[in-house]
Every structure is written in structure tokens, then in C-alpha cells.
Structure 1
Amino acid sequence: MKLARLPASHLSRRRLVNLAGLTALAALTAACSATNQTAPQPVEPAMPRFTSPITAQQVIGKWGLAAYHRPEDAARTEAQARQGCRQPYLINAGPSGGFMMYLADQSQPSEVVSKQVLPGPIYIGLPDEPPGAETDREVLRFDGQVLVMKWLDPEVAGRYGTMVYVRCP
């Protein structure tokens, strides 16, 4: 039996289709074997967006609280804050590693953190906001016994003044 001879152009198309099919099959096989053999890469722990030299453990406790609006009243206000230990402002540990403080005009405390982007100032505020957010307070002084902060929101700062916290014995 004699086979009919196909034209050359038909053979070339057929070879191209076969070659394309083999190439696709080879690529698919290579992808599958590479996927199965590749070990999962270790996940790097997320770096904190900010850091701070003030830890939650350093601020948790009982504090006397007072505030001033004029810088010349700072020393007198610190003495008033010491007297505030009769009815102390309580800072508790937060559920996620921060500490609980009242935000401006809030009746319930919120979890806040100390945050800083070096070499900038230290702020106390909500952990999901960047340092220096309008709801933050800037730490002006902290020595473990006295914490002085001012609100960044000018309207809030005008009402509440500069806050002075003195650790109660």
C-alpha cells in the first residue's frame, strides 16, 4: 500500500502544532516539578513601624495628674499632680502589649503605645496610627517618676493644656 504524499506546507504546519504541544507539555511538567520541590521560604518577622525607649511596664501604675496652659506654671502643676495621688489616674496594661489611657473627650480608655521614629520625638497614641498623628500626645519629659505630655491637636491642647503625671508612691 502506497501512502499519499502530503504537500510540504501541510507537514510544516503539523510539525509546528506538534512542537508547540510538546513545548507546552514540557513547560507544564517543569512547573509542576519545580512547585513540588521548592521548599517554603522562611517568613521574616515583621519589623515594627516604630520603636520607643518608653515601655508599657514603665508607665503602668497609679499617677497623680494635673495640667497647665502657661509654661511658667509647670513647677506648680507638678506639685499639684503629686497631690492628685489621693485620687490617682490609673494606667493599666492593654490587651495587646500597650497600656490603657483616655483619649481626648473619650469616656472609656483606649490602648495606646509609646512610638518614635528615630531620631524624632516620642509620642503616646493609638498603635495603628503613625507617630505624630493628630490624636497623639508628644512626650516632653519622662524620667520614670514624672511624665509630661502635650496634645498635638491644637484645639485639644487649648482645652486640656500640657498634662503632668507624677507617679504615686
Structure 2
Amino acid sequence: MNLFHRVLRLALAGMFAAALAACATQAPQPAAPAMPQYTSPITAQQLVGKWGLAAYHRPEDAARTEAQARQGCRQPYVINAGPGGGFMMYLADDSSPSEMVSKQVGTGPIFIGLPTEPAGAKSDREVVRFDGQILVLKWLDPEVAGRYGTMVYVRCPA
């Protein structure tokens, strides 16, 4: 074997070893966490829009609060579509909206909350009523519920 072939073989072997070493030193990419799949009769498209918002602490104030929520359309609470197919709403005490989803397991209650948490998580809100025009949500965290009450959203006219 002549000198040229020996140098060529050594060069190829060196390139192969370098490529193999580069593959071995790269850390594997972590898999994206699996997002739970929920069923719910409430879709993001049904919630996107402008809503009047008010809240009550005593059940006997529900009807009056609904009327107050209608007045809230002067300065509406806006629910936008989320980048992941959900909708953007505020968590308690958070100054930035987070992407939420409507969550239901089987025929159980419907919750609104973060898609990464199970249905009925402490930060969720339970859907008390939804008819397309009125959405009533109750916070599951008792401390938050004590401060914010039961939230009444009334869809604003277009």
C-alpha cells in the first residue's frame, strides 16, 4: 500500500472518529411533557370575546351581580385565543394572562384552568353555569374564593 492510501485511510478514520465523538457528546433532547387530553362541551371559540365581569359572595346576590356584569361591558374583560388552542385568562393575583382550557373528565364537572394541571386542581375554577351568553365560575381554592367570590361573565353585545 502506498503512502497516499495510508494517509487517506488515516484521514477518513479520523473524520469518522470525530463525527462519532460529536454524536456521543450531544445530550439527548428532553421529550415535551405530555399534555392531558380533556373533553368538555365548552370550546375556546365559545369563550373568546368581550365580557362584562362582576362577582358575588352570597348566592342571593347572583341575579343582581348578573345585571352589574352587563354594565361591565363599558370596560370589558377580554378573552383572547391562546397560542396552543386554549384561551387567555388571568389566574388569581396574576398580572399577566395565562393560557387556559376547559377541562372535564367523563361526565364530571367542568373546570377552567391551566392545561398542564389535572381537572379540579386548586388553581382551577369550576363552571357553575354556561349558556353561551353567561359564564359563572367558582374558584376552587377556598382562600381565593373568599377574596374574589363567584365570578359572573356576561357576553358583551358586538
TM-score, length-scaled by structure 1:
0.72
Instruction: Describe the SS at the equivalent of 1:112.
Output: strand
Tell me the C-alpha RMSD between the 2 structures: 1.3
Counterpart of 1:68 (choices 52, 56, 73) is 56
| Corresponding position: 1:102 with 2:80 | no
TM-score (structure 2 length as normaliser):
0.77
2:7 is matched with which residue?
A: none
Q: Which runs of 4+ in 1 moved over 6 A?
A: none
Cα 1:47/1:153, change in 2 over 3 Å: closer
**Counterpart among 54, 69, 89 of residue 81 in structure 1:** 69
SS at match of 1:139: strand
Q: Which residue of 2 aligns with 1:155?
A: 143
Aligned to 1:141: 129
1:9-55 CA-partner distances (Å, limit 9, x unpaired): xxxxxxxxxxxxxxxxxxxxxxxxxxxxxxxxxxxxx8953211100
Residue 58 in 1 paired to residue 46 in 2? yes
Aligned length: 124
> Bigger radius of gyration, 1 or 2?
1
Which residue of structure 2 aligns with residue 124 of structure 1? 112
Q: Distance in 1 between matches of 2:36 and 2:146?
A: 32
Gaps in structure 1 of 5+ consecutive residues: 1-45
CA distance in 1, matches of 2:96, 2:126: 21
Contact 2:111 2:126 in 1 (8 A): yes
Matching residue's letter, 2:138? K
Once structures 1 and 2 are overlaid, which stretch shifts more, 46-55 or 113-122? 46-55
Q: CA deviation at 1:139?
A: 0.1
